[in-house]
Amino acid sequence: MRTGFISRRRFALVAGSVASAHTLAAQEAGAAKTLTATAAVERIVNALGGDKIPAGADGFKAGDPALRVHGIATTAMATMDVLRSAVKAGANLVITHEPTFFGRPDGPPAAAVAGGRGGRGGVAANDPVYVAKREFIEKNGLIVYRLRDRWLAAKQDTMTTALAETLGWTRRVKPDDVLYDIAPATYEETVGQIRTKLKLVGGLRAVGDRKAVVRRVLLHPGVAATNTFWTRYSEADLIVAGEVREWENTHFFADLFTAGEKHGLVTVGRTLSEDPGMRACAAWLKTIVPEAPARWIAAGDPYWRAV
């Protein structure tokens, strides 16, 4: 007996439906009547510069790139909540940093697999969640473009700076690095500040001495390379990252704590750590594609915390 399966119809009902008439009406309004998604993305890519990475992540993932753009929404991940918010806001070009369809390549899904779910390549073509999400995008005239490789190549520092500014940290130890000096506070107090500033609900995890004093932080949005933690942990009292491999990094810091070392680790969630950077992306897009209003829609913290 299959468990945990959600039908395509049920998912569509849960996700909600936004009348396509709203989108069609919005497409006829505004100053972006002649700007297609293809043209907008071409302008963005040219402004970022650099070469296309072979077999990279960037590209259109859903929708018709020939459609006219009447609004742009940036986000760390194009979740159903984000897509619904984009439609309500009148934005039909959604620029996402992370995959839309749950796999690294995020391209056309493979043939059906046992159980309907896929692996590294994402979900199967007949997966009800995939089908309903794609139908929602097409019905509402949305176009989804993934902007990761070129954005990081040109704006990697922007992702870090935006996260730091959201946390209220501005004193870099040295230019072009990820070390920040912050106002001294206990580890527990610092974690509380992070939770408040990022509006975290249940996605935060912390390892280390609660009473240790934090003066210097190493900041890394997204997922950090393992050797970054192993080689740089001694430079900071606390490392704040999006996500890590638990068995490589979390338990490394757990063993440090057991040994009496005063170095802590906080993970806040990959997409949530990238949200501030995509907010900065929306601000940047206003200078690159002024015809189409650009806004940021937060992917947010998907977790809940038991009372």
Tell me the H-state helices in the chain. Answer: 8-15, 20-27, 37-48, 80-89, 128-139, 149-167, 187-197, 226-232, 251-258, 270-288
Q: Is 62 in a helix, a strand, or coil?
A: strand
What is the spatial distance between Cα 233 and Cα 168, in angstroms, rounded to a whole number?
A: 22
Cβ atoms of 133 and 144 within 8 Å: the answer is no
pLDDT given at position 75:
98
What is the spatial distance between Cα 286 and Cα 271, in angstroms, rounded to a whole number?
A: 22
Tell me: the pLDDT tens digits for 143-153?
999 999 999 99
List, in order, residues 6 or more apart from 120 with CB less than 8 Å away.
103, 104, 105
Same domain assignment for residues 41 and 13: yes
Same domain assignment for residues 277 and 203: no
Amino acid at 94: V
Q: Is 36 in a helix, a strand, or coil?
A: strand
- Does residue 69 form part of some domain? yes
Number of domains in the chain: 2
Same domain assignment for residues 190 and 263: yes
Same domain assignment for residues 19 and 145: yes
Same domain assignment for residues 186 and 238: yes
Sheet architecture: strand order including 294-296 = 59-62, 143-146, 93-96, 72-75, 294-296
Cβ atoms of 304 and 201 within 8 Å: the answer is yes
When pLDDT is cut at 50, 70 and 90, the band that residue 4 belongs to is: low
Same domain assignment for residues 99 and 228: no
Residue 138 burial (C-beta neighbours within 10 Å; 0-12, 13-18, 19+): middle
Which CATH number characterizes residue 71's domain? 3.40.1390.30
Tell me: the pLDDT tens digits for 152-163?
999 989 999 999
What is the spatial distance between Cα 92 and Cα 102, in angstroms, rounded to a whole number?
A: 21
- Does residue 1 form part of some domain? no
pLDDT given at position 106:
82
Same domain assignment for residues 261 and 286: no
Tell me: the pLDDT tens digits for 70-96?
999 999 999 999 999 999 999 999 999
Same domain assignment for residues 81 and 226: no
- Strand pairing report for 213-223 and 179-186: antiparallel
When pLDDT is cut at 50, 70 and 90, the band that residue 54 belongs to is: confident
Same domain assignment for residues 145 and 189: no
Domain range for 187? 155-270
Of the two residues 184 and 2, the one the predictor is more confident about is: 184
Same domain assignment for residues 102 and 80: yes
**Span 199-216, average pLDDT:** 96
When pLDDT is cut at 50, 70 and 90, the band that residue 118 belongs to is: very low
Cα 250 to the center of its chain, rounded Å: 21
Packing angle between helix 8-15 and helix 128-139, nearest 10 degrees?
50
Cβ atoms of 65 and 118 within 8 Å: the answer is no
* Structure tokens that stand for 257 in this block: 């704590």
- Does residue 81 form part of some domain? yes
Q: Is 114 in a helix, a strand, or coil?
A: helix
- Does residue 3 form part of some domain? no
